[in-house]
Chains A and B, each alone.
Chain A
């Protein structure tokens, strides 16, 4: 149970305060409701590039990191297709420094040419390091546009291609900032040994005079219902063949979301899970196999992926996956299979709540999707799921016409 209180400033900034007396550390989490899905299709990778620029100095403070490190703090950020999230942890006594730093960059960035020039290069190196110079690194650059036809999930957060990042201009940067980085498009969560009044006073002091912005309503193209199977085969210089099967699933706010999550857990969480036992241990077709959901806000993907054992054909490997899918659609999963993955949810939640930073992030994410208090209801929602629910969702989504398959073959 995470207790919290919340309030909203006049400029629309939502603030959540969680008190945890047990720690000398405070987590300061600032979420902006903007991600790669808000990008223009000809200018992808921009939300993420922008995240890098947020560390390049702001209106009154030439360097973001230095003053924070000077007070014993540390910080980072990440961008997804849905959100951009900035977080700081620091000793409680020095909390005000976080307010000072993050409010100044919300007020305005410094927008220096040097920062843009350098961060373009840094992001291009990140692109190479994680997507181009790694075995299987480009899988999602291929799978996204295969699975999505119109929705902006069809490009990855890093961007569609390196040229989009190379071509970013200062004007683009400024427009993006004024459009999305406004108080009424953000959620601030502070977690630690703090008092509500103290946070109210600090928030008003540092964020109170930042003007509200004209944040555009999000109108994303809706992905049409998939009606036929999609397939793509590529050859790459990798040591093992791999297969990826991505099935469309519901959005994060849909009641079936938690059911789909458990469905993927039953398939592959841990070494007693179905796919591992059948495909890796018994049939020895795969050297590794997994099933996972994308966790995206809009309609997402449940993906089953595996690397084939040497000498196994794509055909027999894929048939074996499909056989497991048929089984879970035809027969109810066993009660103990279900209770097992529910118990894992319970303990994972308990362990994650030992960190104030995790708690602050989870409160922010839940608030964005509707209500911060949902973090406290999740375990219960999972508990209520039945074996019939699992079967129903399996039948609804694990179908050929709802699937995009990537055959990733090693060069002969």
Chain B
């Protein structure tokens, strides 16, 4: 009799413990605990149905806003692409990119075989080079380089002659964009070959240089990749300044 009681107690307590253990698997802290009856579920459904139109309106507003933002982003990206294209174009025309095309290669050098005219030997070499560049630019040149130094709109060609410099042609130092160069001078120019050549012929540049004991040899390259110019890699005018109040 006592044994049966013990077995009964064991069975009951086992089941009770099992139920208590299972109870711990249920999260009573969630709000859905109140969904235990159909009444609560119907109330929740009514609330959800009342809330649904508001959420749909909100969703529609959000979609409109998303479309507006996407349209704005599209415009911004299109504008950015245009600006990039313009930047590339400006870089090309400013001489910040390498250039290749038909053109001339002009070599200026002292020629001892030419007749000496002493009074004309004291010339400013930078002015000579500047004159040639100006004439070529006027006849449609797209880009220049003197002894490998690319010329841009702000490039200065200067003669830097000290008081102790010896007299005579090629005696001083010419600076192109602040970089010293030495004779012989090689001017590489890209542009319409015929027009460039005509300008040099009309202005009789070779003869002018011959008077100064300097040879002026022009080679024309008519191929699409005839003359190559390097990109300008010097300092830009705004490299060393900052906007006031920026």
Partners in one complex: no
A residues engaging B (CB < 8 A)? none
